[in-house]
Structure 1
Amino acid sequence: MKINILGGGPAGLYAAYLLKRSNPSALVNVYEQNDANTTFGFGVVFSDEALEFLRANDEETLEAITQGLETWRDIEVRIHGERIVIDGVGFTAIARLRLLDILRERALSVGVHLHHQCIVKDLAEMDDADLVIGADGVNSLVRQTYEEHFGTSIEYLNNHFAWFGATRAFPRLTQTFKAAPDGFFNAHHYRYTPDMSTFLVEVDPATFERAGLGRMSEEDSRRYCENVFAEELDGASLVVNKSMWRRFPKISNRKWSVGKYVIIGDALRTAHFSIGSGTRLALEDAQALMQAIAAHPHDVPAALTRFEAARRPVVEKIVSAANRSADWYEDFPQHMQLPALEFAKNYISRSGRIDPERLKANSPGFSSQYEAWRAGSAHS
C-alpha cells in the first residue's frame, strides 16, 4: 500500500507513524511546505487526561511527550482586578516545536519518508497512492479540491485574535479579562516551558475597530497588546511568530472521505482554542484512522467509512462543547458586567460540560468560595 499525507503537523506526522508501524510494508510519504524547524504558534495545551488514549497502544510516544510537559492543577480567572483560582481543573502544555520533533522522530523510526519544503499546489502531484490523507490544516488543499463532495461548511466568528508568546512563565493557565480605553480585551496565557508562555489576545469587533488593530503591523500590535497587558506581563515582553489578527473559522464537513481521499485534524473540523482540544482531536483522528485501515487493509473506501462511523459521534460531542465555549467568548464583554465570582462561575460552566454537582466535586475550594459569596450577597 502507498499512502501520501499532505501536512506535517501533529495529525499528519502521527498518522504516518501509526500507519507505517501497523503495516511495515507500506510506503508512507509526508509532504510539508515548511522546513523541519519552522512552526507557527507557541505552546500546545491539553486537558490533564487528554493524552490517556495513548497509554493502551502507544506508551512510548506518551512517555516521550509527557517528559516535556508543563503541568498544573488549577486555572486562574482575572477580572475586575481580582484573581480567582478554580481548583481541580488540570491542564498540561508543551512547546509546539518540541511536540513536532517528537512526532517526526517517531515517524522516522518506523521508516516514514518526510518531504519538507515541498509545496503541493495540485493533488495530481501526489495522486499515485492507494490512500491520500489531508492533514493540511484549515486551508486544506485536499478539502478545497473536493469541497463540494465533502460538503464543507465554514463559518467565521466575529471576534479577532492573535497568538503571541510571552517571555515569562505563568503559574497556571490564566484567563485575563480587562476593560481598557479602547474597549474589552481577553488574554489566554499559560506556560509551555519553564520560562515561556503562550499569550493569545482576543477582542470583540468594536474594540478591534476602535483600537485600529487591523491597520497595525505585527510589531505595532505586539507593542499595543504589551501595553494593554503590562500588569500581567510584569516586565516581560510579547514575542511574535506570524502573530496576525484573524477570526476563528468553524469548519465542518458533511462527509469525511471521498474515494481514496480522507481529511483529518483541522482540515476536517475545528474546535475553538478555548477548550484546548484541537491537537488532541488530531492525534485521536490518526489513531482511529489507523485502526480502520487495519480492519480493512485491502478496501480503502470501506476503511474510511468505518473511520467516520466510529469517530464522528466522539468528535461531534467535543466540537459541540467547543462551539458553546466559542459562543460564550463572542459575548465576553457582556459577561464582564457580572460580579467577579459570578463571572468566574459563568466562565467555568460555559461549555455545558461542568454542571453544579461536577463543579462541587472537582473544585471544592472555588465552590465553597462562590457559595459563601452568594450567601453573603443574599443578606447584604
Structure 2
Amino acid sequence: MRIVIVGAGPAGLYLSLLLRRSGLDFAVQVIEQNAPDSTFGFGVVFAEDALEFLKEDDPAIFNAITPELERWSGIAIHHRGERVMLDGIGFTAISRLQLLQLLQQQARREKIDITFNRPVTDLAEFADADLIVGADGVTSLVRRSDEAAFGTNISHLTNRFAWFGTTKVFDTLSQTFLQSPHGPINAHHYRYSKTMSTFLVECSAATFVAAGFDRMSEDESRSVLEGIFAETLDGHKLISNRSIWRQFPIVQNERWFTGNKVILGDALHTAHFSIGSGTRLAIEDAIALARAIRTHPRDMPAALAAYQAQRKPILDKLVNAANASAQWYENFGQHMELPPYDFAMSYLSRTGRMDIERIRKIAPKFVAEWERRKTASA
C-alpha cells in the first residue's frame, strides 16, 4: 500500500513515523515544499501535560522533546499597569523549528522517504497512491482539490495579528493589554528557549487602520510596535520572520475524507492561537488517523470513516473552546473596560468551560484575591 503525505509539519512527520512503526507493509512518502530548516513563526506553546500522552505511546519522541521544553507555572495578565498572576496553570514551550528538527531526526532514523523543496501543484502525480494525506496547512492543496466534497467552510476573524520573536526572555506566559493612542492592542508573549521568546501582537481592525499598519512595510510595523511595547520589551528588539499582519482563518470541514484523500491538522481545522493547542491537535489527529489505519489495514474507506467518527467528537469540544476564546479576543477592547482582576476573571472564563468553582480549584490564590477585592469594593 502506498501512502503519500503532503506536508512535513508536525502532523505529517509524526504520521509518517506512526505508520512506519506500525509493522504494516506501507510505502510512505512525505513531500514538503519548503526546506527542512524553514518554518513560519518562533515558538509553540503547550499546556503543561499536553504531551504526556506520548510518554507511554511513543517514549522515543517524548524523551527527545521533553528535555528541550521550557517550563513555567502561571499566567501573567498585564492590564492598566497592574500585573495579575493566575496561579496553578502550567505550560511548556519549544522552538517550532527545533520541534520539526527533532521529528526529522526520528524520521531519518526510521529511513522514511522525505523530499524537501518540492512544491506540489497537481495531485494527479500521485494518482496511483492508495491514500493521499493533506498535512499541508491552512491553504492545503489536498483540501482545495475538492472543497465541495470535503464540505469546506473558511471564514476570517476581524482582528489582525503579527507573529514576532524577541530576545527578551519572559519568566512566564504573559498577556499585555494596552490602550495605545490608536486603540486597544495586546501582545501574547512567552519564552521558548533560554534566549528567545515569542511575541505575537493582536489588535482590532479599527486599531489596525488608525495606527496605519495597513500602509506599513513589515519593518515599519515592527519599529512602531517596538515603541508601543517599549516597556514590555525592556529595551529589546522585535525579530521578524514573515511577520506580516494576518486575519486568523477559521477552517471547518464537514467531511474529513473523500475518495483516497484525507486531511488533518490546520488543513482540517484551525484552533485560535489564544489556547495554544494547534500543534497538539495536529499531532493527535495524526495519532487518530494512524490508529484507524492500523485497525483497518486492508480497508481504507473503513479506516477513514473510523478516523472521523472516533476523533470528531473529541476535536469538536476543543475547537469550540478555541472559537469561544477567539470571540473573546475579537472584543478584548471592550473587556479592557473592566478593572484588572475582573478583566483577568473574564479572560479565564472566556471559553465557557470553567465556572467559578473550577477556576477556584485551578487558581486558588487568584480567586481569593479577586473575591477580596470584590468584597472591599462592595
Band the TM-score falls in, shorter-chain normalisation? over 0.9
**Residue 352 (structure 1) aligns with:** 352
Q: CA deviation at 1:56?
A: 2.3
Distance 2:153 2:331 in 1: 23
Paired with 1:166 and 1:127, the residues of 2 have a C-alpha distance of 45
CA distance in 1, matches of 2:105, 2:81: 45
| Mapped partners of 1:214, 1:314: distance in 2 | 38
Superposition TM-score, scaled by structure 1 size: 0.98
Partners in 1 of 2:260 and 2:337 — Cα distance? Answer: 51
- What is the CA-CA distance between 1:126 and the residue it aligns to? 2.4
Residue 10 of structure 1 aligns with an amino acid whose one-letter code is P
Pairwise CA distance, 1:153 = 0.5
Match of residue 211 from structure 2: 211
Aligned to 1:252: 252
Q: Distance in 2 between matches of 1:3 and 1:79?
A: 50
- The one-character-per-residue Cα deviations of 1:281-319 (angstroms, maximum 9, x if unpaired) are 000001111100000001111100000000000100000
Question: 1:337 maps to which residue?
Answer: 337
Confirm whether residue 64 of structure 1 aligns to residue 30 of structure 2: no
Instruction: Specify the alignment match of 1:168 in structure 2.
Output: 168
Indicate yes or no: 2:188 matched with 1:188: yes
- String of CA shifts for 1:92-137, please: whole Å, max 9, x gaps: 1000000001111122222210100000001112232111100000
| Residue 195 of structure 1, CA deviation | 1.2
Partner of 1:76: 76
Distance apart, 1:59 and its partner CA: 1.4
1:358 to partner: Cα distance: 1.1
**2:108, 2:300 → 1: CA distance?**
24
Query: What secondary structure is seen at the aligned counterpart in 2 of 1:282?
Result: helix
Match of 1:3 in 2: 3
Secondary structure at 1:16's aligned position in 2? helix
Name the SS of the counterpart of 2:121 in structure 1: coil
List aligned pairs for 1:119-268, cutoff 5 A: 119-268=119-268
Distance in 2 (alpha carbons) for counterparts of 1:328 and 1:294: 40
Q: What is the Cα deviation at residue 341 of structure 1? A: 0.6
* Letter of the 2:3 counterpart: I
**Quick check: 1:18 aligned with 2:18?**
yes
Task: Report the count of equivalent residues.
Answer: 378
In the TM superposition, 1:309-320 aligns within 5 A as: 309-320=309-320
* Structure 1: runs of 5 or more not aligned: none
Counterpart for residue 279 of structure 1: 279
C-alpha separation between the residues in 2 aligned to 1:128 and 1:56? 35
Greater CA drift, 3-12 or 348-357: 348-357
TM-score scaled by length of structure 2: 0.99
Post-superposition offset of 1:192: 0.2
Distance in 1 of aligned mates of 2:254 and 2:25: 33
Runs of 4+ in structure 1 over 6 Å off: none
After superposition, give the CA deviation of every residue in 1:240-277 in whole Å (9 maximum; x if it has no partner).
Answer: 00000010000000000001110000000000000001
Structure 2 unaligned blocks of 5 or more: none
Letter in 2 for 1:203: C
Partner of 1:269: 269
Contact 1:94 1:192 in 2 (8 A): yes
CA offsets per residue over residues 75-94 of structure 1, 9 Å max, x none? Answer: 10000000000001111100
Other structure's SS at 1:177 match: strand
Displacement of 1:212 after TM fit? 1.1
State the percentage of identical aligned residues.
Answer: 54
Determine whether 1:29 maps to 2:29.
yes
Letter in 2 for 1:163: W
- Provide the rounded CA distance (Å) in 1 between the counterparts of 2:285 and 2:193: 27
Instruction: Tell me how far apart the structure 2 counterparts of residues 18 and 109 of structure 1 sit (CA, whole Å).
Output: 13
In structure 1, distance between residues paired with 2:125 and 2:237: 43
The two structures, once aligned, show a CA RMSD in angstroms of 0.8
Match for 1:275: what amino acid?
I
Mapped to 1, the partners of 2:259 and 2:133 lie a distance apart of 11
3-state SS in 2 of match to 1:175: strand
SS of match in other structure, 1:45: strand
Rounded Cα–Cα distance in structure 2 between residues aligned with 1:119 and 1:215: 31
Query: Alpha-carbon deviation of 1:23?
Result: 3.3
- What is the match of residue 367 of structure 1? 367
Kept in 2: contact 1:163–1:198 (CA 8 A): yes
DSSP-derived class of the 2:41 partner: coil
For 1:53, the equivalent position in structure 2 comes to 53
The superposition leaves residues 35-66 of structure 1 with CA deviations (integer Å, 9 ceiling, x where unpaired) of 11111100010011111221221011011111
